[in-house]
Amino acid sequence: MTTSPPDNVISLQNVSRRFGEQHVLRDVTFDVRRGETLVVIGESGCGKSVTLKLMMALLQPTSGQVAWNGRPLLQMSGAELQKERLRLGFLFQGAALFDSLSVHENVAFGLRQNTDMPESEITGVVVDRLRDVGLSDFVRRKMPAELSGGMRKRVGLARALALSPEVMFYDEPTTGLDPITSAVIDELILATRERHGVTSVVVTHDMRTVQRVSDRVLMLYPLAGLEPHDRQIIFEGRPDDAYASDDPRVSNFVRGEAGNRLEEAAA
């Protein structure tokens, strides 16, 4: 009898993280459900990037537990953790391509480092993944410096997809892009989920991205603005419900309204 995979791909249970005396996350609990696109929002300093790194095991929690597919990371050896991390794909905020490598070599990098795949098969994967993100074979021979910001993001996504990840993480995927290119990246996030069946986690300030791609929205709030027993996750639900929230911290953020922040800054 086969066992079906757990519904939750990633789980955080009472996770806290501090750096020295600076507390960034406090008792954060949530799950990432298989097949969904979860978008994490919140103002600067609320711990979004730290949360992303904890989910990817690039950071360890000060307290609490992170689990992948129901298994706590603390139960995994270093070698096992490294192997399981290959099931995660990551699109960096600035694409983070290797400037000295061509587009082909960038997309092939992970395959060469982590598989015994022959070069002929690697080339096939590179061509397919670039096609998936809307780039022609001609781009494969170019260097990153020859590409626009939007094209570099696409190459970064192709590189992440080359190893067939189970979960894709996107860190501010539309930052610095014009509205049309941002919409293209959003469409690629949706197409990647549909074409490859991946679970997606997106960290963004861009509410257009939130509306376009999210199944569920989670909003964090900076600890400096909370009382000791307040929950740091101040909203979790559908994007439309965030706009309708009666919590001004949520509604002001998603609508881009200053609220009483001018008075707070002057105090």
Instruction: Note the pLDDT tens digit of each residue in 120-131.
Output: 999 999 999 998
- Which band of pLDDT confidence, cut at 50, 70 and 90, is reported for residue 2? very low
Task: State the DSSP string of 58-73.
Answer: SS--SEEEEEETTEEG
Query: Is residue 41 within 8 Å of residue 205, measured between CB atoms?
Result: yes
Q: State both tokens at 95.
A: 């694409």
**Are 169 and 52 spatial neighbours (Cβ–Cβ below 8 Å)?**
yes
pLDDT given at position 126? 93
Task: Confirm if 191 and 215 have CB atoms less than 8 A apart.
Answer: no
Residues making up the chain, counted from first to last: 267
Does 168 fall in a domain? Answer: yes
Range of the domain at 103: 35-46+77-256
Domain count, the chain: 1
Q: Residue 86 has what pLDDT?
A: 85
- What CATH number is associated with residue 161? 3.40.50.300
- pTM exceeding 0.95: no
Domain assignment of residue 62, yes or no: no
